[in-house]
Amino acid sequence: MNIKDKEKTIIFSILLASVTIFFSFGFFHLSKFETTDEHLWKYDRIGKYWNSLKEKNWEGTYINDKPGITVALISGIGLLSEPDPKENEKLKNISPSEAKLFEQYDYTQTEKTNFRFRLPVLIFSTLSLFAFFYLSFKAFESLYLALFTTLLISTNPILLGMSQIINPDSFFWIFGGLSALSYLALINTKKYRYLIICGILMGFALLSKYTAFILFLFFGISLLAKIVFKNPETALKTTWKNIARDSINIMIIFIISITVFSIFLPAVFVDSKYLFKGISQFLNTETLLTGLGAILFLFFLTTFKKDMAGRITKSIAKKRSLITLILTSLLSLLIVISLLNTWTGQKLAPVDHLRDLAYANEPREFSFKPLIDKRSITTLNQIQLYLMEAYPIIFSLSPLFIIIIFITNFIAIKRKISDKSALIISAVALFLLLYLFSTIHAKVVTNARYSIIIYPLLAIFGSFAIKEILTFFKADKIKHFSIASIIILFLGTTSFFVNKPFYFSYTNFLLPKEFSIHDSWGHGSYEAAQYLNSLSDPEKIIIWSNSDTVCRFFAGKCLKSRKIDLAEVEPDYFVISKRGVLKERNRFILLNNPNVNKDADYYFEEKLKNDYVWKIELNNRPENFIKIIKSE
């Protein structure tokens, strides 16, 4: 596509508009919420990392099991304006008796600290959009494909919400997504600068989360797709030497990434367990033996007959349209079954109930008792678990994107998808389907945050899908691509506006209101605290909350213990979220209770339903709530 200067101006104007919108909506409400565990980063882990470097305490640089080093590197910029946030966390001059009973945070300081440590995260996320555009352009050699990819990322409410939070996942999606694009640029251009770029970015992805190792699966799938999705006669020229060279490139990426990882996490040089701890999650004995067996089998085939690699590749290349059809059909089928399941009250797979049980049964891993007994899992149970893992991803996609997937599947049926597009579409679809299996294997109940790496990969999928849709309907002129870009930007901006300020709680309207793919995770706590602060003499009010995220914005007193001795102190209000309801073992216990009928069950099972004084339902989802109940 020959793009003139005028069209380039339009493309870069839309790009700049999307980046500006992303930052503007992200800046809104930036300091006015508190997510679970965020305080551990602000007040402890970030400072610990930098202090350990300063003191040359290399082992001390291992600050978390994620390991989350990129959080310290980027959010740690906040230390320049607030060197000791721990010092400002709580009120001073509290009497010993009150300190024993209450958690009293300096609520006037919380927003300032949040802003100082979150703004670098948001700025970095915003600037990364330019990197996504650049690498997309280099990988696909198309300004419009680069624009589509960037737009689908910059208008994603989940990614915007994540970009406001001090958390390893806030950087995993960035470095992981950029690593994927760098690898696609490598296999499409054969330029080795992208080999180095990919290795460095993968290093930072691993420094964000060990889960980044799963991207090597994406690299392998993409490589196989690159070999297969071509003309059969061209595929016949594939040799063992070509395959070996490309496989070695992945090994080089691994080595570079581990080097970068070790430089920024010097604890590795003190004890290698900090490296192998992450590798072992994905490269266990079973995986290594399977991989070794596959390599030996391929080596045998290709050495037994010199042209075997080419003959196999040619044979598969002849079926490349069928492969794309199967993968897009499986993805579409997964979405259709998920939609029908929720629209019929989750009768096939009670995914909401399964997710709630898994959380309620913690710390027992992947436990769904009494609904599923792990000792006797049936085929139906396996299907139910697979739908459970897909549930948060499918219903956090925009309806437009789901329609795009369906139309892409229709075009695949017609065998009208180009090889270049089929390569990307098939690789991402297969990776997503395998990723869901991997979460079951790893015994992880996934959610939007745990699946954060899927969203930039789906954006890449979507860019090629949109191109194929426009081409199929003969709307492949430059003006049509420009109109499509503006529509994506408009719909994304509208979604931001409708869901603000709780972008991360985005759920598409295809999910019935009685279900939810999120719980509050701390969102809404600020609003709950503001209600309490609006009451008369808030400094004298005593509350119990199942999460201290409310307490950090509250002017009054928060009880520390869930064991409340009513002879010593009487709470005025109970603040309860969906998580608090599920975790029955963490509910408060009333000691020396003069009215035994009004125990925790009375408040949780009776008053919580209808007799509350205040509530917030995030994005109008009744199952994603925070409620305030007056104590009796």
Q: What is the 3-state secondary structure (H, E, C) of 27-62?
A: HCCCCCCCCCCHHHHHHHHHHHHHHHHHCCCHHHHC
| 72 domain-assigned | no
pLDDT value, residue 273: 87
Residue 147 near residue 464, CB atoms below 8 Å: no
Give the containing element (helix H, strand E) for 576.
strand 573-577
pLDDT value, residue 281: 62
Q: Kindly tell me if the per-residue pLDDT of 519 is higher than 60.
A: yes
Give residue 19's pLDDT band: very low, low, confident or very high (50, 70, 90): very high
Least confident span in 230-234, 334-338, 465-469: 230-234
Q: Of 431, 449, 473, which residue sits at a domain end?
A: 473
Of 523, 543, 557, the residue nearest 603 (C-alpha): 543
Q: How far is it, in rounded angstroms, from Cα 469 to Cα 19?
A: 25
Give the residue-averaged pLDDT of 430-456.
Answer: 94
Q: Across the chain, what does the average pLDDT equal?
A: 93
| 9 domain-assigned | no
- What percent of the chain is predicted at pLDDT more than 90? 82
**Counts of helices then strands in the chain (DSSP H, E):** 28, 8
Helix ranges (H only) for 229-350 are 232-235, 240-264, 267-270, 273-279, 285-304, 308-317, 320-343
Token look-up 């699966």 returns 217
Give residue 284's pLDDT band: very low, low, confident or very high (50, 70, 90): low
Centroid of chain to Cα 454: 7
Looking at the fold, whether 407 and 540 belong to one and the same domain comes out as no
Give the residue-averaged pLDDT of 208-224.
Answer: 95
Q: Of 439, 455, 473, which residue sits at a domain end?
A: 473
Looking at the fold, whether 464 and 567 belong to one and the same domain comes out as no
Q: How far is it, in rounded angstroms, from Cα 630 to Cα 609?
A: 13
Token look-up 């650049």 returns 134
| 520 domain-assigned | no
Looking at the fold, whether 406 and 546 belong to one and the same domain comes out as no
Those residues with Cβ within 8 angstroms of residue 315's Cβ, 6 or more apart along the chain or in another chain: none
Looking at the fold, whether 341 and 468 belong to one and the same domain comes out as yes
Give the residue-averaged pLDDT of 309-337.
Answer: 94
Backbone angles phi, psi at 151, to 5 degrees: -65, -45
Looking at the fold, whether 529 and 469 belong to one and the same domain comes out as no
Q: Is 538 helix (H, G, I), strand (E, B) or coil?
A: helix
Give the residue-averaged pLDDT of 134-163.
Answer: 97
Looking at the fold, whether 342 and 469 belong to one and the same domain comes out as yes
How many other C-beta atoms can be found within 10 angstroms of the C-beta atom of residue 415? 12
pLDDT value, residue 137: 97
Q: The tokens of 345 are what?
A: 């009250």
| 236 domain-assigned | no
Give residue 280's pLDDT band: very low, low, confident or very high (50, 70, 90): low
Backbone angles phi, psi at 65, to 5 degrees: -80, 10
Give the containing element (helix H, strand E) for 564.
strand 563-565
Give residue 14's pLDDT band: very low, low, confident or very high (50, 70, 90): very high
Q: The tokens of 333 are what?
A: 């089928």
Max mean pLDDT among 266-270, 278-282, 313-317, 515-519 falls in: 266-270
Phi-psi label, residue 593: left if phi above 0, alpha if psi -120 to 50, beta otherwise: beta
Q: How far is it, in rounded angstroms, from Cα 131 to Cα 179?
A: 11
Give the residue-averaged pLDDT of 253-261.
Answer: 97
Rg (CA), the chain: 26
Q: How far is it, in rounded angstroms, from Cα 91 to Cα 345?
A: 48
Q: How far is it, in rounded angstroms, from Cα 220 to Cα 305?
A: 24
Centroid of chain to Cα 405: 20
Looking at the fold, whether 545 and 435 belong to one and the same domain comes out as no
pLDDT value, residue 567: 94
| 159 domain-assigned | no
- Give me the helix-helix angle, 169-189 and 454-472, nearest 10°: 50
- Per DSSP, 78 falls in state G
| 437 domain-assigned | yes
557-559 β-sheet, strand order: 102-103, 557-559, 542-545, 573-577, 625-630, 614-617
Q: Kindly tell me if the per-residue pLDDT of 426 is higher than 60.
A: yes
**580-614: b (≥16 Cβ within 10 Å) or e:** bbbeeeebbebeeeeeeeeebeebbeebbeeebeb
Give the residue-averaged pLDDT of 454-478.
Answer: 96
Q: Kindly tell me if the per-residue pLDDT of 291 is higher than 70.
A: no
| 626 domain-assigned | yes
Least confident span in 167-181, 437-451, 532-546: 437-451
Per the structure, how many domains does the chain have? 2
| 342 domain-assigned | yes
Q: Of 429, 455, 473, which residue sits at a domain end?
A: 473
Residue 421 near residue 142, CB atoms below 8 Å: no
Looking at the fold, whether 430 and 539 belong to one and the same domain comes out as no
Looking at the fold, whether 539 and 423 belong to one and the same domain comes out as no
- Per DSSP, 535 falls in state S
Phi-psi label, residue 149: left if phi above 0, alpha if psi -120 to 50, beta otherwise: alpha
- What percent of the chain is predicted at pLDDT more than 70? 95
Those residues with Cβ within 8 angstroms of residue 198's Cβ, 6 or more apart along the chain or in another chain: 179, 182, 183, 185, 186, 253, 256
Q: Would you mind telling me the total number of residues written for the chain in this entry?
A: 632
Q: Kindly tell me if the per-residue pLDDT of 7 is higher than 90.
A: no
Looking at the fold, whether 464 and 535 belong to one and the same domain comes out as no
* Alpha-carbon torsion, ordered 322, 323, 325, 330, to 10 deg: 140
Give residue 552's pLDDT band: very low, low, confident or very high (50, 70, 90): very high
Looking at the fold, whether 551 and 453 belong to one and the same domain comes out as no
Residue 463 near residue 136, CB atoms below 8 Å: yes
Identify the domain containing residue 399 by its residue range: 319-473
Q: How far is it, in rounded angstroms, from Cα 522 to Cα 447?
A: 15
Of 70, 54, 60, the residue nearest 271 (C-alpha): 60
Q: How far is it, in rounded angstroms, from Cα 348 to Cα 337?
A: 9
pLDDT value, residue 234: 86
Looking at the fold, whether 468 and 584 belong to one and the same domain comes out as no
Q: Is 563 helix (H, G, I), strand (E, B) or coil?
A: strand
Q: The tokens of 85 are what?
A: 């946030």
User: CA 587 → CA 126, 174, 545, 563, 626, distances in Å?
Assistant: 40, 37, 9, 9, 15
Q: pTM score > 0.85 for this model? A: yes
